[in-house]
Amino acid sequence: MSPSSSRIRNIFEPLEPSYVADLWNSRFGISLSVFLGYLFFRKAQSVWAVNDNCLPRISYEAIGMRIMNLKDRPWKPTTSALQVFGRHATKNVIHLDSINAMIFLEGKTLVIESNCEPGYVVVFYRGEVLGCGLYSHGKLVSQIPKERRMASVVENGACEDQ
């Protein structure tokens, strides 16, 4: 199936796992085997991953986790997906110290030297993945979603349960 067909019809279309795994392998050096056991779907410009299972034929609003956006070049991984798959990355990773980690989590830009290729990187702190950053020309721009930033939680309490 052509990866572009779901752009016209706004529905979930199955994607070959190797299509997704190759992209992640090429950018982050993540072993292809990490993506075994998942099903992948494309809806408009987004790619979704779900634990491999028999999905009943009904109408879905979301299938598993949105893991990447194909809208722009290069494709962009979501912070949620990096927190699941990113720890297996062997390249294009940046490790932060505690002060820079907090600045990154506030959604700000850091001036930092790295030998990463320009583009999206996996940002680590104390061996744990914080999320997605955009690196180029000595700058790391935080891609942490607004509702998950350190300073913005007060305005975004809506996700808490009773």
The residues binding another protein (CB under 8 A) are 38, 49-51, 53-56, 58-66, 78, 80, 83-84, 105, 128, 130, 147-150, 153-154, 157-162
Contact 49, 15 (CB under 8 A): no
Residue 159 C-beta: closest distance to another protein, Å: 4
- Which phi-psi region, left, alpha or beta, contains residue 48 (left: φ > 0; alpha: ψ -120 to 50)? beta
Residue 153 C-beta: closest distance to another protein, Å: 5
Nearer to another protein, 2 or 51 (CB): 51
Nearer to another protein, 56 or 73 (CB): 56
Residue with tokens 């052509």: 2
Residue 138 C-beta: closest distance to another protein, Å: 26
Using CB atoms within 10 Å of the CB of residue 94, give its burial: 0 to 12 exposed, 13 to 18 middle, 19+ buried. Answer: buried
Nearer to another protein, 54 or 99 (CB): 54
The Cα–Cα gap between 120 and 88 comes to 15
